[in-house]
Structure 1
Amino acid sequence: MPTEVEGHGAFVLQAGPTEFTVVPGLGLLGTSLRHRGREFLVLRGQAEAVLAGHTTGLPLLAPWANRIGGDTYKVNRTRVDLSDAPGLHRDANGLPIHGTMIGRAGWVVDRAEALNGYARLSARFDAAAADEVMASFPFPHEITVGMRVRPGDLDVTTTITATGRRSVPASFGWHPYFQLPGEDPADLRVHLPTGDRLQLDDRMLPSGEEETGYSRKAPLVEPGYDDAYRLRANHRLLTVSGRSRQLTLAMDPGYEYGQVYSPPGERFVALEPMVAPINALGDGLTPMVAPGESYRARFRITLL
């Protein structure tokens, strides 16, 4: 199972016709998801892009996913100033985005094995020992990720454990870039869940308004998407389909929000599971993990 991707150590998890490649040294990045010989992940810019802080493939977004609405936030009595924090990535408006774990080394792989009918990997990252992570998120914690491949699906479980004396705000997510190989772009459709669509302002931050009971099936190529949703029970699926192929991302209740991103005219779509909404740290809307406790969230990708 061990291999290399662009000179970085990698693991290939294979079960029947399905294989997933993950690179611990690039932030535990998923670089390939193949089923019956066809590639379903998009790795724009390769390793160089990841090391520059750009999202591609299947990256973990932590300690927070998406944007924070400014350079300060407060959790309980702890006020955090991000103005000079190292390792931050910023969007076009200068807002901190997607945490500090993209492309980050330091992951420890505890287990990688192929068993009867499936393959799995478990890895952990001690954020409390990473000064650059703590500079913008001073809440000691450990991240553990379990990945399991079975024929036709990939299952990813993410756990954060509060390892210090402070409660830890849970605000992580994933940002997988998907494609449907061999499909005509004109045939691609995105199936959006029944839920509450968050209205976003011109900085892509929640305005406080929501469109309730939103559900939609629409072409991928036009008009493009950058939409955020509060998910509802029994409606935790994001799907992209074509004439002969379909990919579904199903989220357990640990993920209460989802984001759909695809610029107009592109053939890829990012279906993003998120624990908390955009600017959750700024708005105080994160679940809190008490010292010694854990928060766990799982999603599954199914390929047809």
Structure 2
Amino acid sequence: MTAAARIGGAPVVTLTALDAPADGPAFLQAQVLPGRGMMLLQARLRLPSGEVVEAIHAPPVEAAACALDGGPDDFNGNASFSFGGAILAPFANRIRGRALPGAREIETIVAGETVRLPRNWGGKAPGAEQYAMHGLILDASAAFEQPSPDRVVGLIDAGDFGGRWPGLWKLTFEWRLQAGALRLRVEARNAGEAAWPIGLGWHPYFALPSGDRRQARLRLPATTRVEVGDYDAVLPTGRLSPVAGSPYDFTAGAPLGDLYLDDCFTGLVRDGDEAAAEILDPAAGVGLRIASPSPAVKAIQVYAPPDQAFVVVEPQFNLADPFGPEWPGGLDTGMATVEPGEAVAYDVSVRAFGLGNP
């Protein structure tokens, strides 16, 4: 990995583990992009065999710089969530609204306030609905410093996100490599004078070292799945379906096979204080545990097309379209309400393990 390149006007920051175990599976290096909302670009993983591989589905730095150049395909920073691991704020997933004629925007209501959001994603079918996707910091630049080789911290003084979100917000970030694990912490502080909602998430593309998607397994203890109208626009119907007995029951772990996934799981069954999912690659002899102790994490979105050798596992606060009328009254759709001067934290770790020692 090289730290010489610049993306989004800022250097590519390389983290190097200082206390990784001498052998066995461990994360050894990582690349972070302060110029693209502190997203993760790549992480190097040592497998149980001793081989070191790229653990994240992403192009090399030079190709990533071309993709993340702010061109027409990068409207609102969309390229940031096409590979690597984008950080999502002030909302994860999708938000629907009224398309504004002559503008790539929607108008919608957030906690009683009318806002305009970028209309940056949607279905590909003719006439499919377009909407706002994955927040407002995908191409934001963060002030940052690297206090040690294994740690980088960042700050985005987001304010009202350019007039697109109620309140005033400061976002702080910390990436670190610790004891062979990769760790992310995001804190959203309400610097305004009233309580307002926020949703946080992370969108990492985990590459399967074996390249064999059919035999890969997913373990995700959750009781319900958000139903969607179709897998084109992938918009919620407002119904939650029990996963028990369905093809989407990954509670005890199940192979991915040829099942297409772009699904939000909720009713998370916590392991101690953690909401966790595991990606198992038996052919490579390795598993990844993606875990969050944050109480505000209410959902995990999984994106895994059958023809790709990656699995995206996204712990996030909110369900898709959290303010939408499709949801039954009284249902908690996951947005965290933060009082003035207070903060909410998002923590997640990724740990690798040999499949003989889960």
Task: State TM-score, norm by structure 1.
Answer: 0.87
State yes or no: 1:154 paired with 2:182.
yes
Structure 1 partner of 2:115: 80
CA drift at 1:110:
4.1
CA separation of 1:194 and 1:138: change in aligned 2, threshold 3 A: closer
Aligned residues: 292
State yes or no: 1:66 paired with 2:101.
no
State yes or no: 1:210 paired with 2:240.
yes
SS of residue paired to 1:299: strand
Structure 1 partner of 2:3: 3
What's the C-alpha RMSD, in Å, of the aligned pairs?
2.4
Q: Which moved more, 1:269-278 or 1:133-142?
A: 133-142
Structure 2 partner of 1:136: 164
Structure 1 partner of 2:57: 42
Q: In 1, Cα distance between the equivalents of 2:180 and 2:162?
A: 38
Q: In 2, Cα distance between the equivalents of 1:183 and 1:146?
A: 30
Deviations 1:183-242 (A, max 9, x none): 533321122223221112234222222123643233335122011011434252211111
Structure 1 partner of 2:260: 224
Unpaired runs of 5+ residues, structure 2, are 21-25, 47-51, 98-105, 124-128, 326-331, 354-358
CA separation of 1:5 and 1:32: change in aligned 2, threshold 3 A: farther
Q: Which moved more, 1:64-73 or 1:168-177?
A: 64-73
Give 2:302's match in structure 1, choosing from 250, 256, 260: 260
Give 2:40's match in structure 1, choosing from 19, 30, 33: 30
Q: In 1, Cα distance between the equivalents of 2:111 and 2:303?
A: 32
Q: In 2, Cα distance between the equivalents of 1:191 and 1:98?
A: 24
State yes or no: 1:237 paired with 2:276.
yes
Q: In 2, Cα distance between the equivalents of 1:169 and 1:134?
A: 16
Q: In 2, Cα distance between the equivalents of 1:282 and 1:60?
A: 23
Deviations 1:143-186 (A, max 9, x none): 11111212431111111001112323121211000112235333
Q: What fraction of aligned residue pairs are identical, expressed as a percent?
A: 26
Task: State TM-score, norm by structure 2.
Answer: 0.75
CA separation of 1:164 and 1:2: change in aligned 2, threshold 3 A: farther
Deviations 1:45-75 (A, max 9, x none): 6233344122120111111111112233323
Alignment of 1:223-302 (within 5 A): 223-235=259-271, 236-243=275-282, 244-252=285-293, 253-282=295-324, 285=333, 286-302=335-351
Please say if residues 213 and 306 of structure 2, whose CA atoms lie closer than 8 Å, have aligned partners that are also in contact.
no
CA radius of gyration, larger in? 2
State yes or no: 1:127 paired with 2:129.
no
Please say if residues 296 and 336 of structure 2, whose CA atoms lie closer than 8 Å, have aligned partners that are also in contact.
no
CA drift at 1:11:
1.7
CA drift at 1:103:
2.5
Please say if residues 65 and 172 of structure 1, whose CA atoms lie closer than 8 Å, have aligned partners that are also in contact.
yes
Please say if residues 65 and 173 of structure 1, whose CA atoms lie closer than 8 Å, have aligned partners that are also in contact.
yes
CA separation of 1:186 and 1:149: change in aligned 2, threshold 3 A: same
